[in-house]
Amino acid sequence: MATIHLVKEKLLGEGSFGTVFRAFSTTPEGGLTVAVKATPTSFQPGALSLLKEENILNSFRHCPEIVQCYGSEITEEEGVCVQNLFLEYAPYGTLADLIKKGAFIESQVRVHTRMLLRGLSCIHRMGLVHCDLKPDNVLVFPGTGIMPYYQLKIADFGLAMTLEEKKLDARDRRWFRGTPFYMSPESVATGDIEPALDIWSLGCVVLEMMTGLPAWTSWNIECLENFLFRLVSGRITPRIPESLSMECRDFLSKCLDRDSKGRWTADMLLKHPFVAADPRRSSLSSGFGFY
């Protein structure tokens, strides 16, 4: 990004690596509302995470299902040097915010799932694994076209596995990265980080959109340690409600196969009947609108 004047307007969130603000930036070309991830340069893990995320996002400048990055800059704030990463601002928040309002109808889930699959397809073709796909890391933007629907974009690549990291991590697979309730059995058991991990996470996200509840709700999980043990030991898998359509249940079964080699890839799932047909086209004649 060119030389800017940045005005941070609102705190959007805080994490272990830094804070996220809504801000207005001005450049010689004009002004822009952005989301700013910020961390002190003295906090090395946070600064390195932002640099990593910028490098990754620069590879996806032409993928509409992945949040866009506008660059970075180091600023001085109250005597502290701060690393700033400038991202697209999502005016409708996250997918988690939408889910809190209630479950979606199936036609909406089909559209949203197809968007996520397109994003994952781009990610996996670059040799990356997102590792932390969940509703909190999916941003919501205004849709385009005739019908009013949202555009979803995958964000937060701080935990993504790059090809370089994968080579280094081959020496020790006794750990996993990500959010436990969206992690696949093999990633928890052996630290096996492959694209199939993101597909399992996608299945959990789709279940959450369909039901309005986390994928593991029906198991009445008592504690994280007990959940991880049961996940690894093969005792539990997210339950797929019989009330869902046959196409949806079959799609989820392809995502939530405990055998990672049996899980479909993002490109395979894009051809599945659940998402292959775009319900927005048929809705034009029926008068149905999204949201």
List CB contacts of 39: < 8 A, sequence separation 6 or more.
17, 18, 19, 46, 47, 49, 50, 82, 83
Catalytic residues: 132
Alpha helix segments (H runs only) across the chain: 44-57, 95-99, 106-125, 163-169, 185-190, 195-211, 224-233, 246-255, 266-269, 273-276, 279-286
H/E segment holding residue 152: strand 150-154
What are the φ and ψ backbone dihedral angles of 97, each rounded to 5 degrees?
-65, -40
Q: Which two tokens stand for residue 221?
A: 């999980």
Can you name the residues that pair with 141 across neighbouring β-strands? Answer: 151
What are the φ and ψ backbone dihedral angles of 256, each rounded to 5 degrees?
-105, 30
CA 272 to chain CA mean position, Å: 21
